[in-house]
Structure 1
Amino acid sequence: MTPLNSFQPAARLRPLSFALLPLLLAGCMLGPDYTRPDVARPATAQAALPRADQAGVVAAAPPSQWWRELRDPLLDELVDEALRNSPNLRAAQAKVVASRALQRQRRAEQLPSVGAAAGYANVQAPDSLNDSVRGLGENVAQVAEANGRPQEAAQLRQQFADVDLDTELYVVGFDASWELDLFGRRRRAAEQAAAEAGADAAALADAQVQLAAELTQVYLSYRSSQQRIALAEDNLRAADEALRLSRQRRERGADSDLQVERAQAQREQQQARIPPLRAQADEARDVLALMVGREPGALDGRLGQGAELPVLPARIAVDDAAALIRRRPDIRKAERELAASSAQIGQALTAYFPQVTLLGTVGAGAGSLSDLGSDSAATIVAPFLRWSVFDFGRNKARVAQARAGNEARMAAYEGTVLAALQDANTALARFGAARQQVQATTRAEASATRADRLMQQRRQAGAASQIDLLDVQRQQLDAQDGLAQAQLQLLVRYVALQKSLGLGWQEAPEAAVSR
């Protein structure tokens, strides 16, 4: 026979095991534990983006507020103002506030819920019920009299006559409930809420990236329109002068009507260039006002004075693919959405298992406030189990939906990463091509300037006419206009490059998310 003391350690551990069982079960979570997928490994292993060499950039970490590299104080002011006041950004910030509040709610749902209740009831019985009670008392009294107990019959009549069915009831109590998260349903819900809050924060950052880039492009287009308007007006004055000279020469018989009509046509063509440029400038001012949260025309005073196009920074930094993937907000948003869909699988799987909720109530009830005390107290403790044993495949379908949704999010994440890498490399290639275009148009403008200088020398020597000089000057102004467009295109490509790198965002301010 086994000695009794050999069972003592097991007997001591058994109560401890039962006590630890809820804690052990609470550590169980169904569904896959999310890990960030490794996508585009060959690209992230490279030291630089493939198209970086042809763009003339340097391998370094780029600045987040890249627009400050253009050294334009007014542009800096407009971008800062837009990041503070843009209606689109305020809407995205409100969504971040809501998602973070939901995240706090999901965390709180893992804890017990405790409430308090108090009540008062005044019950007025109907007269018919009082009459029925008194009639019952009379019947009982008559039975007592028939049995020879008149004194007892009189007492019964008095007692039933004194019965008052009207009453008051006072009730106070506390109740609590707690769902035991045995299989991780609540924790997976909190995990999903945290991932969705991260996705909304990334969406806000992406909106900041888009806004900074779009505003800078509109601002650059506006400055270029101003510059091109000035060149067009100079060209128009040259065309007016050429037309005046052609008319004088016709009057002296040196030119024909054909030459005058040609000069007239050139003058009208030049005149037609100006209205579209002015309309572009007006539209750009109104778009900038909208971006900073102002009404049309609000920025006309600040933008009215002409200014040169900003100068491209001499050193443009671009880092590698791995840094780009970590930084781009649209990739971060897709990755957080993937994490949220992974948590949904665990939540769907928990429906196969029972949900256990502990319910408890401590209260007291009495007919008067003075009677409320320990004698009127009542306590209820009840575990409540809910388990859908037969659901005819509904939960299986939910699990299948969650898994398919996760696969779709995985594909979307991979596609976002690959599209971001393609976007950055395309931006680098276009930026490099724009640099070459500026170099070519710069040479063309320099050649047109030299031609103008040589023609002026010939005009002073009497070897060329004034009309020949004006024609060369018109060609020079056209070359200058082409150079201005090429310079704008280069700056626009620079902005597109910064946008493709995912630059220009910042964390949501705490003041905005703690309201």
Structure 2
Amino acid sequence: MTRLALLLGAASLLAGCAGSLATDHPRSNLPHAPAATGRFQSAANGPFSPEPVPGAWWRLYRDDRLDALVTEALAANTDLRVAAANIERARALLAETADARRAQVSLSGGASLSRPEGTGADLPGQVGYDAGIGISYELDIVGRLRHLIEAAEADTEAAQAAYDLTRITVAANVVGAYVDACAAGEEKETAERSLALQEESLALTRELFQRGRGTALDITRAETLVEQLRAPIPAFEAARQNALYRLAVLLGRPPAEFPKELAECRTPPRLNSLLPVGDGAALIRRRPDIRAAERTLAAAGARVGVAVADLYPRVQLGGSAGLTGLAADLGEGQAFRMSLGPLISWTFPNQAAARARIKAAEATEKAALARFDGTVLTALSEVEVALNTYARELERHAALEAARDRAATAATQAEQLQRLGRGTSLSVLDAQRTLASAEAALAASTAQLASEQVALFLALGGGWETGVQAQGQAQAQGAGQPGA
């Protein structure tokens, strides 16, 4: 017992020096920088609200059909099933790592047959046996097990963040496919309306020609415009059908089982209120990819601690008891064996490999910090770009709407002048061509606005929350402090 106490005391003394060799964990200042945590610059002069982004942001459209599609996708999407399996794997590895802190029990047993050298194979041999039980427990003197568990916990939380990222991506893709299908239907309807008007104009041009008030050239020009307006319609139909196929796969269905009720959708969802965008601080807390990067950084920091622990002795307390001997002597006292004591393993003085592993772990941690900073900067940039693009598209949409209205007025005036004999068919065709072009551009802008709304909400990172926000949502606020 005196020797045991001396050995444990020496190991504890060596462990007391461990902290002096551990490097300081690198920290990131980005999550606390005023330029990163304040209001978004591009939100200053646009239709945006500083209110927090709602978790189920797609409900802002007040479209029950869309809500049902997102709910179905979040329950059946295959990418989410993969992400959920990755969480299960990470939790299992965490449980395996945490088990190292418990006492380990082992059972052993075996039998053997031996014959004296030189005896014949027909002579009887001696049957021996060995059976025992062993118990061991590692003393976590320098924190090796603690750091291993911290790393496994961070890996599990990173897997959860990856699941949340997949969730918001699936939700955004569902809304995007829904928007694309309905927007293509609207563009097709606009093109068909313009085509119908031009076909009426063609009929009028033919009638005027028969009355001697036009030429064959007027008819040819009108027929050309009809075909030009007919040409985009198949492309719009293809775009709508392809969006429905994408939607079916997002819902976990074969492409042929797309929602049939959307085949006639002609009105993409619209928001008539200010878009809630929050601020930079909320973005850093909310975006799952930032949280995943921070948890990866924390895991890298914990593994530096594991590498440093390899510089010091690893102490295990253990004992074993059993029976060993010949089968003929089974049950006799001399067959009993027992051992008790510490087991100390140490690579000293050959520590070059251990120090190399520390340098490698520190380099991995530096790379994780750089990735974390890059993820934060990318997130901020994506939001600013999405805000700016959406605001400018709104301005463009307003201008296109005004142009469409003026083109419609000009077309009406040209037709009236032609009926009164004061205008030419060429001026009517030009006015109608301008109107058709203006309506097509306005419809395309409407579709673009809807798509950019989805891109903005995706950049803002909304959609992964389920009721109470996940436990790890605020962890990125302490990024760069993996050892905390």
TM-score, length-normalised on structure 1?
0.79
Residue among 258, 273, 277 paired with 1:318: 277
CA distance in 2, matches of 1:315, 1:362: 75
User: Any conservation in 1 of the 2:90–2:159 contact (CA below 8 Å)?
Assistant: yes
CA distance in 2, matches of 1:478, 1:102: 60
CA distance in 2, matches of 1:462, 1:374: 129
Q: Alpha-carbon deviation of 1:470? A: 7.3
- 2:32 aligned residue: 41
Change (3 A) 1:356 1:41: closer
CA distance in 2, matches of 1:369, 1:455: 119
- 1:345 aligned residue: 304
Cα-to-partner distance string for 1:479-498 (whole Å, 9 max, x where unaligned): 33322222222222222221
CA distance in 2, matches of 1:320, 1:290: 34
Match runs of 1:410-421 below 5 Å:
410-421=369-380
CA distance in 2, matches of 1:364, 1:507: 58
Q: Alpha-carbon deviation of 1:25? A: 7.9
Residue among 38, 43, 47 paired with 1:52: 43
CA distance in 2, matches of 1:376, 1:43: 75
Q: Tell me whether 1:255 sits opposite 2:205 in the alignment.
A: no
Change (3 A) 1:453 1:200: same
TM-score, length-normalised on structure 2?
0.84
Cα-to-partner distance string for 1:355-400 (whole Å, 9 max, x where unaligned): 2233421112465599447664321224333222354733322222
CA distance in 2, matches of 1:255, 1:327: 67
Task: Report which stretch shifted further, 239-248 or 285-294.
Answer: 239-248
CA distance in 1, matches of 2:412, 2:211: 28
Q: Alpha-carbon deviation of 1:198? A: 1.4
CA distance in 2, matches of 1:369, 1:211: 70
- 1:401 aligned residue: 360
User: Any conservation in 2 of the 1:29–1:184 contact (CA below 8 Å)?
Assistant: no
CA distance in 2, matches of 1:467, 1:336: 68
Change (3 A) 1:214 1:369: farther
**3-state DSSP of counterpart to 1:304:** helix
Change (3 A) 1:174 1:313: farther
- 1:136 aligned residue: none
Structure 2 gap ranges (5+): 469-484
- 1:70 aligned residue: 61
**3-state DSSP of counterpart to 1:54:** coil
Q: Alpha-carbon deviation of 1:444? A: 2.4
Task: Report which stretch shifted further, 292-301 or 45-54.
Answer: 45-54
Change (3 A) 1:80 1:179: same
Q: Tell me whether 1:224 sits opposite 2:180 in the alignment.
A: no
CA distance in 1, matches of 2:35, 2:333: 71
CA distance in 1, matches of 2:248, 2:394: 31
- One-letter code aligned to 2:199: D
- 1:214 aligned residue: 173
- 1:492 aligned residue: 451
- 1:357 aligned residue: 316
User: Any conservation in 2 of the 1:357–1:385 contact (CA below 8 Å)?
Assistant: yes
- 2:163 aligned residue: 204
- 1:387 aligned residue: 346
Q: Alpha-carbon deviation of 1:175? A: 1.3
CA distance in 1, matches of 2:421, 2:432: 17
Q: Alpha-carbon deviation of 1:453? A: 5.4
Task: Report which stretch shifted further, 381-390 or 339-348.
Answer: 381-390
- 1:4 aligned residue: none
Paired residue total? 463
CA distance in 2, matches of 1:202, 1:127: 66
- 2:477 aligned residue: none
- One-letter code aligned to 2:45: Q
Q: Tell me whether 1:275 sits opposite 2:234 in the alignment.
A: yes
Q: Alpha-carbon deviation of 1:108? A: 0.9
User: Any conservation in 1 of the 2:168–2:464 contact (CA below 8 Å)?
Assistant: yes
User: Any conservation in 1 of the 2:139–2:315 contact (CA below 8 Å)?
Assistant: yes
Cα-to-partner distance string for 1:112-147 (whole Å, 9 max, x where unaligned): 2102234445x3748952699xxxxxxxxxxxxxxx
Structure 1 gap ranges (5+): 1-14, 133-163, 510-515
Change (3 A) 1:367 1:477: same
User: Any conservation in 2 of the 1:195–1:340 contact (CA below 8 Å)?
Assistant: yes
User: Any conservation in 2 of the 1:44–1:320 contact (CA below 8 Å)?
Assistant: no
Q: Tell me whether 1:110 sits opposite 2:101 in the alignment.
A: yes
User: Any conservation in 2 of the 1:364–1:373 contact (CA below 8 Å)?
Assistant: no
**3-state DSSP of counterpart to 1:80:** helix
Match runs of 1:423-462 below 5 Å:
423-451=382-410
Cα-to-partner distance string for 1:442-489 (whole Å, 9 max, x where unaligned): 222333444455567667767668887676556444433322222222
User: Any conservation in 2 of the 1:32–1:342 contact (CA below 8 Å)?
Assistant: no
The structure with more radius of gyration: 1
- One-letter code aligned to 1:333: A
- Over the aligned positions, Cα root-mean-square deviation in angstroms equals 3.4
- One-letter code aligned to 2:83: A
- One-letter code aligned to 2:291: R
Change (3 A) 1:369 1:467: farther
Change (3 A) 1:27 1:316: farther
Match runs of 1:108-257 below 5 Å:
108-121=99-112, 123=113, 125=115, 129=119, 165-257=124-216
- One-letter code aligned to 1:175: G
Q: Alpha-carbon deviation of 1:506? A: 3.2
**3-state DSSP of counterpart to 1:109:** helix
Cα-to-partner distance string for 1:301-354 (whole Å, 9 max, x where unaligned): 232232422121413222121111111111111111111111121122222222
Query: What percent identity do the matched residue pairs reach?
Result: 31
